[in-house]
Amino acid sequence: MTNFNRSNNPHLITSTQAVAEAGYPSVEEYLATQGMDSVIIACCDEGCEVEPDGYCEHGCPSVIVAKGLI
Ligand SMILES: [Zn+2]
C-alpha cells in the first residue's frame, strides 16, 4: 500500500506539496503542529481536508496515508 499514484487523477499531488501549500516545510512538521485529532490535509490540489485515514472527494489520500504513517 505504498503506491498512491493514480495517473488518471489530475488532482493528486505529493504529501510534501500538500503541506507546503498550507505553509509547512514537511509532513512531520505539519503533524507536530496540527496533530491527527480531526481532519488533515489531503494530497489534493483543491486544498481538501479529510479524515486522517481517509480520501477526499477527488480520490486523493490524506498526507499521512500517502506517507504510509497510518
Ligand atoms: Zn480533493
Express each pLDDT in 25-44 by its tens digit: 999 999 999 887 789 999 99
Report pTM. Answer: 0.84
- The 10 Å CB-count burial string (b at 16+, else e) for 47-62 is ebebebebbbebebbb
Residue 2 confidence (pLDDT): 46
3 state SS of 40: strand
Tally DSSP H helices, then E strands, for the chain. 3, 2
Residues with CB under 5 A from ligand 1 (ion): 44, 46, 48, 56, 58, 60
Which amino acid is located at 67 in the chain? K
DSSP state of 60: P
Gap from CA of 61 to ligand 1 centroid (Å): 9
Say if CB 59 and CB 11 are below 8 A apart: yes
Gap from CA of 69 to ligand 1 centroid (Å): 20
Residue 1 has pLDDT above 60, yes or no: no
Mean pLDDT of the 54-63 span: 97
Residue 55 has pLDDT above 90, yes or no: yes
